[in-house]
Structure 1
Amino acid sequence: MEMMKVEMRDFRSILKIFREVKMELEKQNNDQWKWIYPNRFIYKADVKNGTMYGIKEGNEYIAVVTLDNRQSNEHQSMKWRDHAGTPCCIHRLAVRPDRQGKGLGKQLLRSAEHLAKQQGYTSVRIDVYQSNATAISLYEKNGYLRIGEVRYPMRKLPYVTMEKQLLHD
């Protein structure tokens, strides 16, 4: 299974993934993704901007991620390691709950890093809700280092900021 750019014709499939992931997070008492964020307008912008990628099985997406160079204002105060290069950010990495634990998150992450290198980026940055231990573990196992924490409105807990330097051949 290869990662590919998501197109608008697949938008319903994308909505399904996020709806299922949000329900699963809610079952775990994790308020990382609520009704206000992320939402259909954000997903649609990701697809229209050509920054959302995913892995399909048959006609359905089973995992998606957004890769772009947009950082929130809260990230400006972080002590990032990559000062001289061009960083990109991973947003909204999601794997359908019935497909989690099978290596899709790792595959999607590696594919996004490969794409970032191809596009000339020198590092990847992400923030992860503090209570999402599974996601934090995934990133740490794949070479991401903790940089600090940021807080966003209407969230009880902070987000852990992480960064990975990309080695170019």
Structure 2
Amino acid sequence: MIRKGTSDDIHAIINITAACATHMINNHIYQWNASYPNKEGFKKDVTRGELYVMEVDTKVIACITLSDLMDAVYLPVSWLTPNKNNLYVHRLAVHPEHQGKGHAQKLMDFAKTFAIKNNYSSIRLDTFSQNPKNLNFYELRGFKRLEKIFFPNQSHHPFYCYELVL
């Protein structure tokens, strides 16, 4: 079940994202670290009503943030659609014990349905250039790879921006 996240979910989400970070680091993917993602970011997501969680047997196993706010780092990107009425996906995470079972796909299906229902013109996101599994995941779903952006506090490698026109 996918539902709106609450402040009561943040502890579980921090555990999920920490487990994901460890899993990625063990696979030589240095995408997330001690500064990102963080509790403060998820608190803002809850306050703005943008956080969604996936439960299996009443246990939170995954999360996704769906926002219509464009981060400043995205301003220079040549997007496929105008910079209005776009949905941004952030912090998609599935606990490593539950990966490979289609949960990320269900979260992205949820995001797409949400975007269509709310008349967004596209879905935008970024993902780490050194994470081939994520790159393939989004490209197989029809997202178009656009420009590189950098998050110096996370990595010296770029992140690729992606957009799916609806």
TM value normalised by structure 1 = 0.92
1:56 maps to what in 2?
55
Alpha-carbon distance change, 84 to 126 in structure 1, aligned in 2, over 3 angstroms: closer
1:157 aligned residue = 157
- Structure 2: which amino acid aligns with 1:125? R
Whether the 8 Å contact between 1:85 and 1:123 is mirrored in structure 2 is: no
Q: Does 1:37 align with 2:36?
A: yes
Q: What pairs up with 1:73-152 in 2 under 5 angstroms?
A: 73-83=72-82, 86-152=85-151
1:149–1:161 Cα contact (<8 Å) kept: yes
1:9-28 → structure 2 map (5 Å cutoff): 9-28=8-27
Letter in 2 for 1:96: H
Q: Identical aligned pairs, as a percentage?
A: 27
Cα shift at 1:126: 0.4
CA shift for structure 1 position 89: 0.4
Judge conservation of contact 2:86–2:123 (CA < 8 Å) in 1: yes
Structure 2: segments with no counterpart, 5+ residues: none
Partners of 1:127 and 1:45 in 2: CA distance: 19
Match of 2:46 in 1: 47
**Structure 2 CA distance, aligned partners of 1:71 and 1:32?**
21
TM-score (norm 2): 0.93
- 1:51–1:66 contact (8 Å) kept in structure 2: yes
Paired positions, count: 165
Shift of 1:25: 1.3
